[in-house]
Amino acid sequence: MKGISIKIKTLILFIVSLGVLTLISLGIIFYRSNTLVHTQVNEERELILEMKKNELQSYTMMAEKAIASFYKMTLDENIAHKIKEDALVFQKIIEDIYAKNKDKLSKEELRTLIYSVTNGYRYNNDIGYFYAYTPEGINVVHPINPSLVGKNLIELKDKQGTFIIKDVIKTAKDGTGISKFLFPHPKN
């Protein structure tokens, strides 16, 4: 390096120093960027975890409230609730059958189809069934005891003296409620 002028030596020293400073600066920037990325990833991970915990707590609270309300109901209320759910499913089936066939079948054919579906429909492990009466108390569908079909049972009472069909018709006309009576189930 004896033959190199001071100007060139200074320039080389300046370029090498600038290179070293650039490398150090890039190292610091890379380190800080990497640290910042890890910090942000960890913060986001913690935030997502906290959100998931809160979501899980919300679902747990909803489930607890649903279960608590179910257990707070009396046995009669639980039975009525279950029957109502089953009745709504059955109602939807009948409404769908009616909607699909009202323009295709005669009134009598449609009635026969709906009675047939009612006769075959069971719920609650084949224990529950639906039946139908006219507003005058004449049975039109009874899947368990077909001998009742066509009979006027408006005056039928249970062992406790409750007018079974009158009460059922009144409850149906009111549009809601529970009709409680004793009626022997043929499977028992």
Query: Is pLDDT of 43 > 70?
Result: yes
User: Each residue of 63-114: pLDDT tens digit?
Assistant: 887 777 666 667 777 777 788 888 889 999 999 999 999 999 899 999 999 9
Beta-bridge partner residues of 128: 123
Query: Is pLDDT of 164 > 60?
Result: yes
Query: Is pLDDT of 145 > 90?
Result: no
Query: Is pLDDT of 188 > 60?
Result: no
User: Each residue of 9-27: pLDDT tens digit?
Assistant: 888 888 998 899 999 999 9
Q: Which of 149, 90, 138 is nearest to 114 (CA)?
A: 90
Q: How does residue 124 score in pLDDT terms, banded at 50, 70 and 90?
A: confident
Report the C-alpha gap between 173 and 171 in whole angstroms: 5
